[in-house]
Structure 1
Amino acid sequence: MDLTMTPVANASTAPPRHCRICDLASAWMPKIVLAPTFVCALLFIYGYIAWTAVLSFTPSRLMPRYEWAGLAQYEALFANERWWLALKNLAIFGGLFIVICMAVGLLLAVLLDQKVRAEGFIRSIYLYPMALSFIVTGTAWKWILNPEFGVEKVLHDWGFAGVKFDWIIDPDFSIYTVVIAGVWQSSGFVMALFLAGLRGIDDSIIKAAQVDGASLPTIYRRIIIPSLRPVFFSSFMILAHIAIKSFDLVMALTNGGPGFSSDLPATFMYTYAFTRNQIGLGASSAMVMLMIVVAVIVPFMVSELRSARRG
């Protein structure tokens, strides 16, 4: 019986039938997975920013009213003495908060970089406050700074009857209590950033400087700290963002008081938009806060990008 053999195509060279479907699936799957997140961000972040901008140009009070009011809300905002006090407090709180956090964080990072004993334990202690919410931090420091049973009471019980530390109830010093609580919570996080930057510096540069006779302070001042410029930039961005949007820390610690002496723009916006039923005024203050964020952060970002390109 004559059997003719028909050539069979090599299975390894024959293209699979479903390869085109697989290619389409692999190309579209990331887009499909990310689409809900993208849509939610577009709607609930940028959509509400746009809506807030619209409300800032309307006479809205208890409920939104979509009638054009021009710049009336912004004029009322900048004629409000409480708003100017909130901006002043933001300058005090933001400036001290950023500078002290970066100074303390850098100092702690330099100390830990000396390979001290129990470094992991000490680092965990410094980082622990960052694990707490600002509500918890504000409540704890409200107890600590309370003159009736806080630091002042403890010092009086120890015999220091002349010591007075009642900043939390003093309108002239209440904003500084917010600085104390904010620095306590955030300086450990800045320390972690600086410590990571220090551990990323090439040891050969330091050893070469030591061979040339440079002292340790000189090495840190001339070589190590200038090398941490990206860390300084990142720390500034994070701390500035925290300072400008600070709300829960102030509400838990001082509730904006005494009176409204420790008000910040975020607490001002909340008070007028949700408790005084002036949505339009609250929206205008929110838009000014957004402009402050842009005015602070964008120039630093542009400067950093230019430096990176030149480097």
Structure 2
Amino acid sequence: MSNSTVSLSSTGTHSSKAAPQSRRSGKFAALADNWLPRLVLSPTIILSLVFVYGFIALTGYLSLTNSRLMPNYEFAGFDQYTRLFALDRWWTAASNLGIFGGLFILLCLAIGLFMAILLDQKIRAEGALRAVYLYPMALSFIVTGAAWKWILNPGLGLEKMMHDWGFLNFHFDWLVNSDMAIYTVVIAGVWQSSGFVMALFLAGLRGIDDSIIKAAMVDGASLPTIYRRIVIPALRPVFFSVLLVLGHIAIKSFDLVMALTAGGPGNSSDLPAIFMYQFSFTRGQLGLGAASAVMMLATVLAVLVPLMYLETKGTRNGR
């Protein structure tokens, strides 16, 4: 009897000691769960705030100064924007961005979706074809621009090859034609990015439930009707992502144009990114270049905000 009493008392003592320890360990675990993610993410957040948003704010302020070769922090109002909007070259670059961006996005969407639909038919050698279509995306825009500069050069590439084959009436001098040079940038950009768009659409197509398509086929719907009425509307989130990526690529395009046309002939294929670089770093007009950079940011926001609003509105409505 005494032994059992001693054992019970000792067990009670140990349990009373263990309870505070378990509570302390539970509090420590809760603190670790709350603060460890913050500590891990804080360096990234701080660096992003300083080197992304901080420099965006600095660029915005420099656009309101008369900075030239070096920064000048004396406030000057909107003089740089007045100068910017008075320059014909800026409007040429803006109109070229509209042409390049519109055609680039439209053609990449059409070609990428078409190739994705073809590969979705479970054709033979799908893996090899997918790799071939995706390969251009592995190249840098500098390499793409240099390659297409050789291909489209009238004295070296496509035109010379056709003349050597006896087609002397064939002419393709867009690269040196000021009215057509911007379209050579579209050709090179579409060639590089359409495979990436195809991969995104193909992933979206593979995520659609096959039973829906089979049910539509049982009801007598043709394959084009199924894709037009069921499959393509189901790809709305993919369209949102593709438009976002392609719009961003188009607005910030710099290296592709520099390697292919260098903005020429003259300024006929100039884009805002080239304008910003040259006026900021080669012409000693830092304030004017900062103003053009702010306008590029405004263009990005003008594309991004409506897309995000439409996507979130569709999500709220359950579409």
TM range (shorter): over 0.9
1:290 equivalent to 2:290? Answer no
Report the counterpart of residue 7 of structure 1 in structure 2: 10
Report the counterpart of residue 52 of structure 2 in structure 1: 45
- Please give the alpha-carbon distance, in whole angstroms, between the structure 1 residues aligned to 2:67 and 2:304: 30
Q: Aligned in 2, Cα 1:215/1:278: closer, same or farther, shift over 3 Å?
A: same
Report the counterpart of residue 306 of structure 1 in structure 2: 313
Q: Aligned in 2, Cα 1:12/1:252: closer, same or farther, shift over 3 Å?
A: farther
- Please give the alpha-carbon distance, in whole angstroms, between the structure 2 residues aligned to 1:303 and 1:230: 11
Q: How does 1:87-236 map to 2 (within 5 A)?
A: 87-236=94-243
Q: 5+ unaligned residues in a row in structure 2: which ranges?
A: none
- Please give the alpha-carbon distance, in whole angstroms, between the structure 2 residues aligned to 1:37 and 1:168: 43
Q: How does 1:52-67 map to 2 (within 5 A)?
A: 52-67=59-74
* CA drift at 1:20: 3.6
One-letter amino acid matched to 2:66: P
1:259 equivalent to 2:253? Answer no
Q: More deviation in 163-172 or 43-52? A: 163-172
* DSSP 3-state at the match of 1:7: helix
Per-residue CA deviation, residues 60-82 of structure 1 (Å, 9 max, x unaligned), is 00011111211110000000000
Q: More deviation in 106-115 or 253-262? A: 253-262
- Please give the alpha-carbon distance, in whole angstroms, between the structure 1 residues aligned to 2:82 and 2:276: 15
Superposed CA RMSD in Å reads 1.7
* CA drift at 1:161: 1.4
* Count of paired positions: 310
One-letter amino acid matched to 1:63: M
Report the counterpart of residue 280 of structure 1 in structure 2: 287
Per-residue CA deviation, residues 223-265 of structure 1 (Å, 9 max, x unaligned), is 1111111111111111011101111111111111111111100
- Please give the alpha-carbon distance, in whole angstroms, between the structure 2 residues aligned to 1:158 and 1:261: 31
- Please give the alpha-carbon distance, in whole angstroms, between the structure 1 residues aligned to 2:15 and 2:122: 63
1:245 equivalent to 2:245? Answer no
* CA drift at 1:151: 1.1
* CA drift at 1:217: 1.0
% same residue: 65
Runs of 4+ with >3 A deviation: 2-6, 10-23
TM-score (norm. length: structure 1):
0.95
- Please give the alpha-carbon distance, in whole angstroms, between the structure 2 residues aligned to 1:159 and 1:102: 36
One-letter amino acid matched to 2:33: S
TM-score (norm. length: structure 2):
0.93
One-letter amino acid matched to 1:116: I
Report the counterpart of residue 36 of structure 2 in structure 1: 29
- Please give the alpha-carbon distance, in whole angstroms, between the structure 2 residues aligned to 1:188 and 1:300: 23
- Please give the alpha-carbon distance, in whole angstroms, between the structure 1 residues aligned to 2:255 and 2:83: 26
Q: More deviation in 77-86 or 126-135? A: 126-135
Per-residue CA deviation, residues 98-139 of structure 1 (Å, 9 max, x unaligned), is 000000000000000000001011001101111111111111
* CA drift at 1:13: 6.0
Q: Aligned in 2, Cα 1:213/1:77: closer, same or farther, shift over 3 Å?
A: same
Q: More deviation in 92-101 or 146-155? A: 146-155
* DSSP 3-state at the match of 2:10: coil
Q: More deviation in 84-93 or 290-299? A: 290-299
One-letter amino acid matched to 2:49: L
More helix per residue: 2
- Please give the alpha-carbon distance, in whole angstroms, between the structure 2 residues aligned to 1:162 and 1:36: 63
Which entry has the higher C-alpha Rg, 1 or 2? 2
* DSSP 3-state at the match of 2:59: helix
